[in-house]
Amino acid sequence: MSKKIDKEIVLKGIPAAPGIAMGQAFLLDQQDFIVTERQILPEEVTIEIARFEEAVSHTKYEIQGVKDKIIAQVGGLDAQIFDAHLLVLEDCMLIDEVKKRIRDNKCGAECAFSFVLHRYVSIFDKIQDEYIKERSSDVTDVGRRVLKHLMGESRLHDFESLQGEIIIVAHDISPSDAVTMYSKKILSFLTDVGGRTAHTAIIAKSLGVPAVLGLKDATLRVSNQDFLIVDGRKGVVIINPSDSTKRLYSKEKEKIAQYEGAILNTRDVPAETVDGHHLGLMANFEIRGEIPGVKKYGAEGIGLYRTEFFYMNRMDLPTEEEQYQDYKKIAEEMNPHMVIIRTLDLGGDKFLSSIQLPKEMAPFLGSRAIRLCLEEPEIFRTQLRAILRASAHGNVGMMYPMIAGPGELRAANGILKGVKQRLREKGVPFNENMPVGVMIEVPAAVMTAELLAKEASFFSIGTNDLIQYSLAVDRTNEKMAQFYEPAHPGVLRLIRRTINAAHDAGIKVSVCGEMASDPTLAMILMGLGVDSLSMSPSSIPQIKRAVRSLKFASIEEFAKQALRLSTGQEVEEYMINEIQKIVPDFYTYEA
């Protein structure tokens, strides 16, 4: 009897962490506890409430242990996601509702808690916003831990039994599960649910393993020990690949390994064209754990330090000292390279738990970024004090997000001036000449760029939002993806106008959006005249290779011709063809 040949199956999900992994699947059982209704006598109510309180106490201790572990391994900011778990256990409404159900229904603690838990999760699941919806995994993870203690289970998952190099496949992976697997040989994470903002994506990047999320039914289509290929760059998973597919991806892995090995040889080489024109290549940055990657890939500094992680997934506001210590350490570690800190950019698709803001019909057009800071000046002043104090310890710059015109810039600078004066009065050292720039992210800022340039130290073009607002496309809506055109002629003209206004005023201009990470689009930006690009650190070598392979005169001509084309697709096709004429193998490997 001939052996059954499994047919190759290709799944497509959301690319969450780059790289290629090949290995056996390990299907992670979520171990949802089966809770049966258990009636109790009136005199047992007190006992059941005590059991519930004890389970909550044990769970708090357990989560704090997980948090301490991740602090020791990858730093404090990654560990802040567990503050959200602890806050669930301190939710008075949830705790009181469970106790009330035990009293009123005369049911066991596990029954009452399970009922309330599922009600909370169902509320989260009905919310359309992706970021809030994904927080249901926090509640579910905490709930499983409490039920574990109530039902006497020894562990949630038998991670000690994990042997060899495996690819984890799960409906969802909680942050605490991922941290528990730090010491294991995990090749990749795959989940049915989740997106780029999921905690699993954050932890996968910290671990340096490929991840594909939002696969919908991977747990139904993958069996234990199936051989899988995971392409985290494209969000592709191949189940039971053919021999030819295995060979193809094996060669791709070798190519990536060779490419990454060559990175060390180019790390200290400048991004300079054949005819001697230099382009600054800097890194986008969020957490201290990324510093080794910033240095490994040869970034010339940090062009965009996003500070939102300080404020998200917590119910309290970060203190001045907490922020100062982190900014200071990063400035010291990167010195003498520049670190440009973007002031708080919350709202839109990023939420602040510690301030109850009214729900908005169009959050991207509401109270966000600099508007929120001007509405909450004390929060803004706290951050400004921390940034100014850190400026005494390195090469620190600062920029305001979402400035629409000179009025907002002057209002922000007015608050900054007051903060500086108070620091002087207290004798607190800071860099009096710290550069203060403006992010150009809305068409109104482009149209007033020549006015803004008179009052700003530099410009940084945030192309993600500039594209969104100029093309009227919600960049978080997957259905609108086909309309999100970075190379749209209108977008290119807005960028060119901004660059010209900056240079006419004698200030420099950078681009820190995703356009900067694309080698084709990066060459257009360079041709339009940008002074520097800021991107994901791993994208730097590819961009540097493009710069060092071409003449600046050619790049300028490419951009000039691109501006004469009618669609974004035409622009990208033209650029690819022109670059390949000069560097035939340029697109053979893309990070």
| 68: DSSP letter | H
343 lies in a domain?
yes
Domain check: are 275 and 216 in the same one? no
pLDDT digit string (tens) for 445-466?
999 999 999 999 999 999 988 9
Q: Which residue has the higher pLDDT, 571 or 68?
A: 571
Q: Which of 222, 239, 257 is the last residue of a domain?
A: 257
Are 176 and 137 within one domain? no
Q: What percent of the chain has pLDDT over 70?
A: 79
CATH number at residue 73: 1.10.274.10
Q: Give 263 or 535, the one with higher predicted confidence.
A: 535
The predicted model gives 247-254 an average pLDDT of 91
Mean pLDDT of the region 379-389: 96
Q: Is residue 91 part of a domain?
A: yes
- Specify the pairing of strand 227-231 against strand 20-27: antiparallel
Is residue 532 located within the same domain as residue 576?
yes
289 with 338, same domain?
A: yes
Per the CB < 8 A criterion, the answer to whether 178 and 193 are in contact is no
Return the higher-pLDDT residue of 155 and 446: 446
Residue 37 covered by a domain? no
What is the band of 199 on the pLDDT scale with cuts at 50, 70, 90?
A: low
Regarding whether 514 and 432 lie in a shared domain, the answer is yes
Which of 211, 228, 257 is where one domain is finished? 257
Domain co-membership, 224 together with 335: no
User: Does a structural domain hold residue 589?
Assistant: no
199, 295: one domain: no
Distances (CA, A) of 477 to 111, 129, 467: 39, 10, 14
Beta partners for residue 509, in sequence order: 459
β-pair partners for 539: none
Cis bond upstream, residue 336 (ω within 30): yes
- In this prediction, residue 481 carries a pLDDT of 58
- Catalogue the active-site residues: 199, 512
Radius of gyration of the chain (CA): 26
Assigned domain for 2 exists? no
Does some domain include residue 445? yes
Q: What is the dihedral of CA 256, 261, 265, 269, to 10 degrees?
A: 40
What are the angstrom distances between the C-alpha of 262 and each of 67, 248, 256, 259?
A: 36, 21, 10, 5
Q: What's 333's domain CATH number?
A: 3.20.20.60
CA 401 from chain centre, in angstroms, equals 17
Average pLDDT in the chain: 83
Residue 311 token pair? 């404020």
Is residue 4 in a domain? no
Q: Are residues 201 and 295 in the same domain?
A: no
pLDDT of residue 203: 62
| Total structural domains within the chain | 3
Is there a single domain that holds both residue 18 and residue 60?
no
Among residues 230, 257, 284, the one where a domain terminates is 257
CATH number of the domain residue 170 falls in: 3.50.30.10
Q: Hunting for tokens 């649910």 — which residue is that?
A: 193
Statement to judge: residues 460 and 326 lie in one domain: yes
Q: Give the ranges where 236-368 is alpha helix by DSSP (H).
A: 243-266, 291-296, 320-334
Is the pTM here over 0.75, yes or no? no
Question: In terms of domains, do 311 and 252 share one?
Answer: no
- Do the Cβ atoms of 367 and 406 come closer than 8 Å? no
Q: Is residue 297 situated within a structural domain?
A: yes
Give the CB-side neighbour count of residue 420, counting CA atoms within 13 A. Answer: 14
| CB distance 533 to 543 below 8 Å | yes
21: domain range?
A: 9-30+157-257
Mean pLDDT, residues 6-24 taken together: 86
Answer yes or no: do 545 and 452 share one domain: yes
